[in-house]
Chains A and B, each alone.
Chain A
Amino acid sequence: MSNETDSPSVAAAPVLATEQKLQKDLETAFPDLVGKITLQRVRRVWADVPMQSLHAVVTYAKEELGFWMLCTITGTDEGAHLGLMYHLAGDAGIVLTVVIAAPKDGPGPQTLTPLYPQADLYEREVVDLLGVQIQGLPEGNRYPLPDEWPAGQYPLRKDWTREMLEVSKENA
């Protein structure tokens, strides 16, 4: 194309320089993360973080590295445990995904609402759909399931089927 003068091209060769710096910054601040950070492609960085370090890593990413947006939280059912992915973004266009493992039947991570107010709905979503036990989530309306939804029914868990809901309604 003729008019690609000033915008940096995606396919420009010396890629991943910003991503590598991000990796180095994270590894310097958190030596435990060495070997846990993956540079998937340009602007896509993944970090496996222990649940206890979530707050420290995310706070550092927000305060020091400019990740001012929490795009969303993706919850997954990993079989033995639940996975939570915190997708962070900032002005550089990089998505830093912080991945933690949370227990299915025990206390989960601390709420991120003090850092990111928008985490409120995202956290309620993983509470409702996957049964993550987010600690310290302020009181408020549930999301997105109806108020009369039976307790202990987590539709996004892999073993959940619609029939389980019908059985639970009959018992109630």
Chain B
Amino acid sequence: MTDKDVIKVPLGPQHPALKEPGNFTLSLRGENVTDMTIRLGYNHRGIEKACEQRSYLNDMYLLERICGICSHSHTTAYVQAVEEIAAIQVPARGLYLRTLVAELERIHSHLLWLGVAGHEIGFDTLLMYSWRDRELVLDLLSMLTGNRVNYGFNTIGGVRKDITEDQRNDILKATDTLEERTKVYAELAGNEVTLSKRLQNVGRLTKADVVRLGVTGPTGRASGIKRDVRKDDPYAIYSELEFDVVTSDHCDVFGRTLVRVGELLQTYKMIRQILKNLPEGPISAKAPRKIPKGQAVSRYEAPRGEDFHFVRGNGTDKPERVKVRAPTMVNMQAVPLMMKDAQLADMPITLAAIDPCFSCTDRMIELHDEGGATSGTYSWAHVRQLGIQHHLKRGIDFANLNKELASWRERIK
């Protein structure tokens, strides 16, 4: 650029507004963004190549780890393609349970997003509330699958765990609470002036640009594009569920918020239908170790947009080729357009509003005494005490910390 008033500011690759590596070079005239280039690939791990060297089942666990949030999305997209190649008929109950976890995952992802969005605009109360509520759904996922993220719930031919009547009731109970809470957020999004003033007209993306760039998921729907793989190219049991595709004509971050909150309400509706109509029977079909020659593409409406998988089998127990496209790949390319002529301070929330993918695998721990005699849940105070003792054994005394800090300050004076 020849204009002397334009300066270039690199944002990232470390932590560009989110805990995910990506590099954005912004050209600024004063506070206004005139141009922007993106450099991605910092998270490239060679998973597609690695898939060719592992068995179909091993690949599922590998693909599950593409993303901590959409882990069930990736495995479902993948197993659907494998099942199509091998002509495996997944039993109805298996498909229902697969869809159940898919929708629970959507709740967990959208509530997470709502918190991040609140945080990016300095509205941390929203972060605290929505992440507290998100614990409910994470507890459900943990109960159903044994893990809060990376559930390992899918398998080729169905799912790995059935649900009990008690679990069914727990899900229904939590769904009621979550719906009540989400209605508060819906009201908040509509009436809270801080939120609407801060988000309206930020990160604008017109309907025409959504079509031109092929933008997918809630980001596209918030610009009035009524497109959802669950409706357009139905998989699992979505053709049997009654739900609306939520759209908005705001074409900005505010619209993206309304769409995600609206989708949560649709998801609760779907979960009730799934549990009401859950058929009896087996949860998986036996899958062969070797998958015949053939290829298939599979699409999946992940919380962030369309996941696209391609799998080619060559008759062995390892795939010939696995190709993955996550929604961020296409949505990220719309960010420069959203930022054009916008203010630098709008960058974090605009980037966050496409809900780019980052890992979240932190989890609380339940400690059990190894001897088994006193096994049970430890109180927070007890865990804290254990921690203090652990450090004491290593010569670190927190009780003396202030004293030691003072003497250290004396020494370096």
Interfacial residues, chain A to chain B (CB-CB below 8 A): 1-4, 7-10, 40-41, 43-44, 68-72, 74-76, 85, 87, 89, 91-95, 97, 116-118, 120-122, 129, 140-146, 155-156
> Contact: A144 with B299, CB < 8 Å?
no
A2–B320 alpha-carbon span in the complex (Å)? 41
Residue interface mask B222-242, A partner, CB < 8 A = 1: 000001010111100001101
A89 CB, nearest partner CB in chain B, Å: 8
Interface size class of B (residues with CB under 8 A): 35 or more
Q: Is B37 in contact with chain A by the CB < 8 A criterion? A: yes
Question: Closest residue of chain B to A147, judged by CB?
Answer: B39
Question: Closest residue of chain A to B334, judged by CB?
Answer: A118
Report, nearest first, the 6 A-B pairs whose CB atoms are least far apart: A144-B41, A93-B232, A72-B325, A93-B233, A144-B44, A69-B214
> Contact: A141 with B213, CB < 8 Å?
no
A87-B40 contact given A69-B214, A71-B325, CB 8 Å threshold? no
A72–B233 alpha-carbon span in the complex (Å)? 16
A118-B214 contact given A97-B297, A144-B40, CB 8 Å threshold? yes
Residues of chain A within 8 A (CB-CB) of B49 are 155-156
Residues of chain A within 8 A (CB-CB) of B321 are 74, 76
Interfacial residues, chain B to chain A (CB-CB below 8 A): 37-41, 44, 46, 48-49, 84, 211-214, 216, 227, 229, 231-234, 239-240, 242, 273, 277, 296-297, 299, 306, 308, 310, 312, 320-321, 323, 325, 329-330, 333
Partner of B213, one of A94, A118, A122, A155: A118
> Contact: B37 with A140, CB < 8 Å?
yes
> Contact: A71 with B40, CB < 8 Å?
no
B280 CB, nearest partner CB in chain A, Å: 14
Partner of A92, one of B44, B213, B232: B232
> Contact: B46 with A117, CB < 8 Å?
no
Partner of B44, one of A8, A41, A145: A145
> Contact: B48 with A87, CB < 8 Å?
no
- For the complex, would chain A's binding face be called helix, strand, loop or mixed by DSSP majority? loop
B310 CB, nearest partner CB in chain A, Å: 5
A1–B99 alpha-carbon span in the complex (Å)? 15
> Contact: B239 with A3, CB < 8 Å?
no
A4-B297 contact given A74-B310, A140-B37, A145-B44, CB 8 Å threshold? no
A44–B306 alpha-carbon span in the complex (Å)? 16
A145-B323 contact given A4-B239, A118-B333, CB 8 Å threshold? no
> Contact: A145 with B41, CB < 8 Å?
yes
> Contact: B214 with A1, CB < 8 Å?
no
- For the complex, would chain B's binding face be called helix, strand, loop or mixed by DSSP majority? mixed
A85–B310 alpha-carbon span in the complex (Å)? 10
A sample of 12 more A-B contacts (CB under 8 A), given A75-B323, A93-B234, A121-B329, is: A43-B233, A71-B325, A72-B329, A74-B323, A76-B312, A76-B320, A85-B310, A116-B214, A117-B333, A122-B325, A140-B37, A156-B48
Partner of B299, one of A10, A95, A143: A95
Question: Closest residue of chain B to A71, judged by CB?
Answer: B308
> Contact: A155 with B46, CB < 8 Å?
yes
A117-B213 contact given A1-B240, A92-B232, CB 8 Å threshold? yes
A143-B273 contact given A4-B239, A97-B297, A117-B213, CB 8 Å threshold? no
Residues of chain A within 8 A (CB-CB) of B48 are 129, 156
Question: Closest residue of chain B to A146, judged by CB?
Answer: B41
> Contact: A4 with B40, CB < 8 Å?
no
> Contact: A87 with B310, CB < 8 Å?
yes
B89 CB, nearest partner CB in chain A, Å: 12
A1-B310 contact given A72-B323, A91-B227, A146-B41, CB 8 Å threshold? no
Question: Closest residue of chain A to B243, judged by CB?
Answer: A7
A145 CB, nearest partner CB in chain B, Å: 7
Residues of chain B within 8 A (CB-CB) of A44 are 296-297
Question: Closest residue of chain A to B211, judged by CB?
Answer: A68
A2 CB, nearest partner CB in chain B, Å: 8
Residues of chain A within 8 A (CB-CB) of B44 are 144-145
Residues of chain A within 8 A (CB-CB) of B277 are 1-2
Most buried by B among A2, A72, A122, A156: A72
Q: Can you give 9 A-B contacts (C-beta < 8 A)?
A: A7-B239, A71-B308, A72-B329, A93-B232, A116-B214, A120-B333, A121-B40, A141-B38, A141-B39
> Contact: B214 with A68, CB < 8 Å?
yes
A41–B39 alpha-carbon span in the complex (Å)? 38
Residues of chain B within 8 A (CB-CB) of A89 are 233, 299
Residues of chain A within 8 A (CB-CB) of B333 are 117-118, 120-121
A95–B50 alpha-carbon span in the complex (Å)? 26
> Contact: A87 with B240, CB < 8 Å?
no
> Contact: A143 with B40, CB < 8 Å?
yes
A43–B84 alpha-carbon span in the complex (Å)? 13
Residues of chain A within 8 A (CB-CB) of B242 are 3
A143–B330 alpha-carbon span in the complex (Å)? 13
> Contact: A87 with B297, CB < 8 Å?
yes
